[in-house]
Amino acid sequence: GNSVTQMEGPVTLSEEAFLTINCTYTATGYPSLFWYVQYPGEGLQLLLKATKADDKGSNKGFEATYRKETTSFHLEKGSVQVSDSAVYFCALTSGGYNKLIFGAGTRLAVHP
């Protein structure tokens, strides 16, 4: 079945460091791919998305490119801030947009 695998955390970085959180997926058909972010005490928020191969989603300095050949959707940011500390979830749609399948989440802690 469809699944999402993302790197285990926590990821601890200093402010202004480069961030990569790996995400790979297994899916039949052509899923859409997402990154969600969960700040402490809040619900999940959509960070970015890509709906077809080679699409690049971007938002708030974060980017991820839909790589069909490697079944990956790695999240990157060139310079992280303390305010980026959160849990990041990679996800894909299944069943014609009706269901989201999530990875386990990666906790990011950014220190000044």
Residues contributing to the site for other proteins (CB under 8 A): 4, 32, 36, 41-46, 89, 93, 97-105
Instruction: Decide whether 34 or 74 has the Cβ nearer to other proteins.
Output: 34
* Shortest Å distance, C-beta 85 to other proteins: 17
* Shortest Å distance, C-beta 103 to other proteins: 6
CA distance 25 to 22: 10
How are the residues of the chain apportioned to helix, strand and coil, as percentages rounded to the nearest 5?
Answer: 5, 55, 45
Instruction: Decide whether 17 or 55 has the Cβ nearer to other proteins.
Output: 55
Instruction: Decide whether 17 or 87 has the Cβ nearer to other proteins.
Output: 87
Edge-first strand order for the sheet with 62-65 is 19-21, 75-77, 62-65, 56-59
Three-state secondary structure call for residue 45? strand
* Shortest Å distance, C-beta 9 to other proteins: 9
Tokens representing residue 75 in the block: 């999240």
